[in-house]
Amino acid sequence: MENIGFGVIGTGIWGEAHAKIFASHPHSQLMAVCDLEADKARQVAENYGASSWYTDYEELLARSDIQAVGIATPDFAHRDAFIAACKAGKHILLEKPLATSHEDLAAMRKAYEESGVRVMVDFHARWNPPLYIAWQNIREGSLGKLISMYYRLNDILYVPTKMLSWAAKSSILWFLGSHTIDTLRFFAGNEVKRVYSVSRSEVLEKKGIHVPDIYQSILEFEDGVIATIENNWIIPDTNPHWNDIKLNILGERGMINMDLTGNQAFERYLPDKSDHPDILVMPTIHGKPMGFAHESIRDFIDRLHNGKEFLVGFEDGYRVSKVVLAIMDSARNRMPVEVEY
C-alpha cells in the first residue's frame, strides 16, 4: 500500500494521540480531523498539520484522499461513527471499548462484516513491555500450565470526576475493565465462559456520578483457568500515577508478580514536590512520541501498510464487550452469568 491518508474523529485526549502518530509516521499523512467542538478540531488540526477540520464526520468520511480513520469518541458514542466509517469504506482504528451495549455490538458487527474494511481495536496493553514479556513466558511454557491470574487495574478519582465529562455514561468496567479482560484473554489464549461479580456504589454516587465505584469479579476461562479482577474508579488522587496496577500470574511450575503502580522505577524529588514522571506509557524521547500507548497506533499504520493481520481485531473487541456486559449483569443480580458471544 502507498502512503495512507488518515483522519481522526473525536479530537479529545486520546484522539490527539492518534493525530500525533498519524502525523509523524513515515507511511501516513494526517489529512483532516473532526470533533463536535470546533475549537478542539481546529486546534488539533493546527498542532499536527492537518489541512482541514470538520464538526461533522460525514464530511471527513466523504474525502477520497482519506483511506483510514481513528475513532476516539467517548465510550458510549462509538457506534454511529464506526458504522459510517464502514459504509464509507475506511479502515478503522477504534478506541476501546468496542461498544457498550448488545444492540450497538450487533449493529457494528453487521456493518463491519458487510464492509470489507480492516478494523483494529486499541487495546494497547498488548504493547506494554512487562505485560508482553509475561505473555511470552506463558507462551514459552516457563510457568507450566496456567492455573490462575489476579489483576487489579484502578484509576484515581480525578479521572471520573474531573478528566472525563462523560464518566456517568461509562463505568470503570468499560474504561479500564475492558483492558483487564483483553489482557487476561491474551495471557490465557482462550475465552471467558462464566463470570461472577459484585459491585459497590458509595463515593461516586454521592458526587452525582451514578456508576459503581468498584467491581470485584471472578472469571472462569474455557480451559479452566480462573482469574480474579478488581476495577475501581476511586483511588485517592495522591496515588503516584493515574493507575493502580498489580498482577499475579500463577502456573503449575512458576509465577510472575507485577507492581506497575506509579512508575516506581523513576522517583523525582524537587524542592516543592516529588513525583514519578511517565517513562512507559507515552513519553517523548529525542522529540519522538514513544511508549506503548503510541506504539499500538504506530503498529496499526505499519500493518495497514504491509498488509499483515492486526494484533487486536474486531472479534477481540466484540468478545471483551460481551464479557463486560456479563459482569455488569452478574453484579446487578448477584448471580454467576454464562457469557454469550
Ligand X SMILES: NC(=O)c1ccc[n+]([C@@H]2O[C@H](COP(=O)([O-])OP(=O)(O)OC[C@H]3O[C@@H](n4cnc5c(N)ncnc54)[C@H](O)[C@@H]3O)[C@@H](O)[C@H]2O)c1
Residues 148 and 255: their CA atoms lie apart, in Å, by 10
Q: What mask, x for binding ligand X by CB under 6 A, covers residues 240 to 279?
A: ----------------------------------------
Among 27, 36, 42, 258, interactor with ligand X by CB under 6 A: 36
Which run of H or E residues covers position 198? strand 192-200
Which residues does 125 contact at the CB level (< 8 Å), separation at least 6? 131, 179, 182, 183, 186, 292
Give whichever of 39 and 205 is closer to ligand X, judged by the CB atom.
Answer: 39
- Residue 14 lies near ligand X (rule: CB under 6 A): yes
Q: How far is the CB of 16 from ligand X (least distance, A)?
A: 7
Q: How far is the CB of 139 from ligand X (least distance, A)?
A: 23
Among 6, 57, 151, 187, interactor with ligand X by CB under 6 A: 57
Instruction: Tell me, by CB under 6 A, how many residues bind ligand X.
Output: 25
Query: In 3D, which of 242, 236, 102, 128 has the Cα closest to residue 186?
Result: 128
- Residue 5 lies near ligand X (rule: CB under 6 A): no
Among 8, 33, 75, 127, interactor with ligand X by CB under 6 A: 75
Among 7, 10, 177, 289, interactor with ligand X by CB under 6 A: 10
Stretch that binds ligand X, among 8-16, 101-109, 184-192, 283-291 (CB under 6 A): 8-16
Task: Dig out the grid coordinates for 144 from the structure.
Answer: 507450566
Residues 251 and 266: their CA atoms lie apart, in Å, by 30
- Residue 122 lies near ligand X (rule: CB under 6 A): yes
Burial class (CB in 10 A: 0-12, 13-18, 19+), 308: exposed
Give whichever of 137 and 239 is closer to ligand X, judged by the CB atom.
Answer: 239
Query: In 3D, which of 302, 313, 312 has the Cα closest to residue 1?
Result: 302
- Residue 96 lies near ligand X (rule: CB under 6 A): yes
Residues 316 and 98: their CA atoms lie apart, in Å, by 9
- Residue 38 lies near ligand X (rule: CB under 6 A): no
Residue reference for cell 506509557:
281
Stretch that binds ligand X, among 10-18, 62-70, 196-204, 268-276 (CB under 6 A): 10-18
Stretch that binds ligand X, among 28-36, 45-53, 107-115, 316-324 (CB under 6 A): 28-36
Q: What mask, x for binding ligand X by CB under 6 A, covers residues 141 to 180?
A: ------------------------x---------x-----
Q: What backbone phi and psi angles, to 5 degrees, belong to 142? A: -70, -20
DSSP 67-84: -EEEE---GGG-HHHHHH
Stretch that binds ligand X, among 32-40, 109-117, 146-154, 264-272 (CB under 6 A): 32-40
Query: What residues make contact with ligand X under the rule CB under 6 A?
Result: 9-15, 34-37, 40, 57, 72-75, 77, 81, 95-96, 122, 124, 165, 175
